[in-house]
Amino acid sequence: MAVHKILGIETEFGILHLNPAESNPVSASSLLINAYVNERRSNRIGWDFEDEQPGVDARGFDVYGGMAPAVESHLVNAVLTNGARYYVDHAHPEMSSPECFDAREAVVYDKAAEVILTTSMQEATRYLPPGEELVVHKNNSDGKGNSYGCHENYLVDRKVPFARLVTQIMPFFVSRQIFTGSGKVGTEAPDMDPSDVPFQVTQRADFFEEEVGLETTLKRPIVNTRDEPHANSALYRRLHVIVGDATQAEVATYLKLGTTALVLAMIDDDFLSDMPIFEHAVRAMRDVSYDLTMTRTHPMADGGSMSALDVQWAYFEAAAKYGEQAGFEAVGGDEVGRDVMRRWEEVLDALGRDPMELADRLEWVAKLRLLEGFRSRHGCDWDDPRMRALDLQYHDLRPGRNIHRRLGMERITTDAEVATAVTAPPPDTRAYFRGRCVEKYADRIVAANWDSMVFDVGEESLRRVPMLEPLRGTRAHVGTLLDECETAEDLLRALGE
Amino acid sequence: MAEREQIRKPRRESTEEEVEETASASESGTELKAELDDLLDEIDEVLETNAEEFVRNYVQKGGE
């Protein structure tokens, strides 16, 4: 029986400080996040990097109160009442969503992250001199060879031999690009000229140089081997997926998460056998992204050749059998499992007929349609700077500038549930415990991280509450307890009993 | 590789359905075109005025 596919998304956003007297992306990112957490007292809790000993210095993170954000430039690391982590990472603002129960819930929290970043921009700009502005983009590249990630995380069974996991997931990662991409004008591959590739399916494909490895910032691998489970390491592994694009298109994000969770459930259960394997996965990563017709074939390890679409159909057919035999419990139940299968089939069918049919669902198709329209209206070529500007502005999160939201693409979330997710944690994972504690006992929490919370209730030593099981700490488990405990002291006493 | 080709989904539409689909596709095609024109009008208004400078100045540090 596959491990429940608890999942989440971490997104690094592009950031610009417009018209500054003096600025750098690290201080701009810090200002952005401080502006948000300063407005919300309950959010002023630091992230705890120490796995075993929090130490008193963890309190050092909690210094936001009383300091003007204009002079705040140290690396910010906050935990939000919705269970997410909001911080500065490598000169980018980054949001790690709370642990989610299924793909649909994860999309809701991904959209909530956009709302939080948009609010942060507006609040931060109020602290800046007139004429200056912070601008955030939800994209993955500056078009000049610098890339930043949108990573997915999935809980997988520690018992699965990692070599099998790598072999069985890699062809899926290479081929799923045909629906996960957010599209990009040109190429940033070092050995190519931008004019070789007017437009490609993904933002990220240009940046992968290895099949498997630990790196994420250089020599990026298709399968990342980082092994920090943030959970019981005897039972679980966290697969850290770095090949995806950050998408605003809800159906694209949903399919990316839902299909990957399904494939990982099949791998947990050793359900896949004799799946297609790309002869040159790194080469295929780029070739798949450069093919807008969905017909290009790639050499396979068995000497044959297949298109990315063929490979996706192979995974789809396996998942259909898996669903019949094992059900969809591991990915959140029948409703979400069947919905993912239905949409997966629709999208693969349409990609095989005419990708343009998917302009209301897939981000790369929507962007391509827009760029083609712009090109024909203005009679310009792909290397016209307006094409690149439109590509960038597609991802600009400022409401007046954002292009994506003007397209009216199909949604799977509602504004109301996204608004709720800005402040409330998912009810069905341990993120519920984290978020509710932050909301209710902020002044007693010294630090938080994925698998524990550290409290200071005035005793000689700090008190750590471990959260090693991602499916414990849900509303069903601790909702009543949290409702009843007025203070952190009450809570710790009750948990100790 | 012939056996892998069979993995592709069989096409199920009948000829009759195809005719209907073509008719509605053409209608929705016209609608889409009109929508795209409206959208491009909007974009002409909100697109960065100095595209070249904007693109040149858009530089990020690598991340992850």
| Res B27: pLDDT | 64
| Average of per-residue pLDDT values in chain B | 70
Which pLDDT tens digit goes with each residue over A426-478? 999 999 999 999 999 999 998 889 999 999 999 889 999 999 999 999 999 99
Residue type, A230: H
Write the residue in A242, A359, A406 that is nearest to B42 by C-beta. A406
Measured over the CA atoms of residue A7, residue A242, residue A466 and residue A425, the dihedral's sign is: negative
User: Rounded to a whole number, what is the largest CA-CA distance in chain A?
Assistant: 73
Mean pLDDT of A149-162: 97
Look at A389 and B51 and tell me if their CB atoms are within 8 Å: yes
Rg (CA), chain B: 22
Q: Locate the chain A residue with the closest alpha carbon to B47.
A: A390
Instruction: Name the more confident of A59 and A236.
Output: A236
Mean pLDDT of A213-227: 89
Evaluate if residue A123 carries a pLDDT over 90: yes
Instruction: Name the more confident of B27 and B52.
Output: B52
| Res A39: pLDDT | 76
Q: What are phi and psi of A96, to 5 degrees?
A: -105, 120
B20 touches A: beta carbon within 8 Å: no
Tokens representing A205 are 């494909």
B3 touches A: beta carbon within 8 Å: no
| Average of per-residue pLDDT values in chain A | 92
Question: In chain A, positions 189-218, which contact chain B (CB-CB < 8 Å)?
Answer: 216-218
Which entry of A89, A102, A291, A451 is annotated as an active-site residue? A89
Confidence of residue A11 (pLDDT cuts 50, 70, 90): very high
Secondary structure of chain A as H, E, C letters: CCCCCCEEEEEECEEEEECCCCCCHHHHHHHHHHHHHHCCHHHCCEECCCCCCCCHHHHHHCCCCCCCHHHCCCCCEEECCCCCEEEEECCEEEEECCCECCHHHHHHHHHHHHHHHHHHHHHHHHCCCCCCEEEEECCCECCCCCECCEEEEEEEECCCCHHHHHHHHHHHHHHCHHHHCCCEECCCCCCCCHHHCCEECCCCHHHEEEEEECCCCCCEEEEECCCCCCCCCCCEEEEEECCCCCCCCHHHHHHHHHHHHHHHHHHHCCCCCCCCCECCHHHHHHHHHHCCCCCCEEEECCCCEEEHHHHHHHHHHHHHHHHHHHCCHHHCCHHHHHHHHHHHHHHHHHHHHCHHHHCCCCHHHHHHHHHHHHHHHHCCCCCCHHHHHHHHHHCECCCCCCCHHHHCCCCCCCHHHHHHHHHCCCCCCCHHHHHHHHHHCHHHEEEEECCEEEECCCCCCCEEEECCCCCCCCHHHHHHHHHHCCCHHHHHHHHHC
Tell me the sheet residues that pair with A208: A220
Which one of A388, A398, A404, A407 makes the best mutation probe of the B interface by having the most chain B beta carbons within 10 Å?
A: A388
Q: What percent of chain A has pLDDT over 70?
A: 94
- The rounded distance, in Å, linking the Cα atoms of A44 and A62 is 6
Confidence of residue A489 (pLDDT cuts 50, 70, 90): very high
Which pLDDT tens digit goes with each residue over A237-252? 999 999 999 999 999 9
Look at B32 and A359 and tell me if their CB atoms are within 8 Å: yes
- The rounded distance, in Å, linking the Cα atoms of A444 and A433 is 15
| Res B11: pLDDT | 43
- The rounded distance, in Å, linking the Cα atoms of A147 and A206 is 9
Q: Which residues of A touch B62 (CB under 8 A)?
A: 90, 146-148, 217-218
Write the residue in B37, B48, B62 that is nearest to A389 by C-beta. B48
Tokens representing A461 are 């030593």
Residue type, A454: V
Evaluate if residue A497 carries a pLDDT over 70: yes
A371 touches B: beta carbon within 8 Å: no
Q: What percent of chain A has pLDDT over 90?
A: 83
Q: Locate the chain A residue with the closest alpha carbon to B49.
A: A386
> Contact, A356 vs B23, CB < 8 A?
no
B39 touches A: beta carbon within 8 Å: yes
Q: Which residues of B touch A304 (CB under 8 A)?
A: 1, 4
Q: Which residues of A touch B43 (CB under 8 A)?
A: 370, 374, 390, 403, 406
Look at A92 and B61 and tell me if their CB atoms are within 8 Å: yes
Evaluate if residue A67 carries a pLDDT over 50: no
Distance from CA of A146 to the nearest CA of B (A): 5
Which one of A17, A313, A316, A405 makes the best mutation probe of the B interface by having the most chain B beta carbons within 10 Å?
A: A313
Contacts of A349 (CB under 8 A, 6+ apart): B9
A373 touches B: beta carbon within 8 Å: yes
Look at B63 and A89 and tell me if their CB atoms are within 8 Å: yes
Which one of A207, A374, A396 makes the best mutation probe of the B interface by having the most chain B beta carbons within 10 Å?
A: A374
Evaluate if residue B56 carries a pLDDT over 60: yes
Q: How many CB pairs under 8 A join A and B?
A: 122
Confidence of residue A260 (pLDDT cuts 50, 70, 90): very high
Tell me the sheet residues that pair with A86: A78, A95
With CA atoms as reference, report the closest residue to A356 among B51, B3, B29, B13: B29
Cα separations (Å) of A126 from A36, A67, A101, A113?
A: 11, 16, 36, 20
Q: Is A62 a catalytic residue?
A: no
Mean pLDDT of A307-313: 98
Look at B64 and A216 and tell me if their CB atoms are within 8 Å: yes
B10 touches A: beta carbon within 8 Å: no
Confidence of residue A43 (pLDDT cuts 50, 70, 90): low
B30 touches A: beta carbon within 8 Å: no
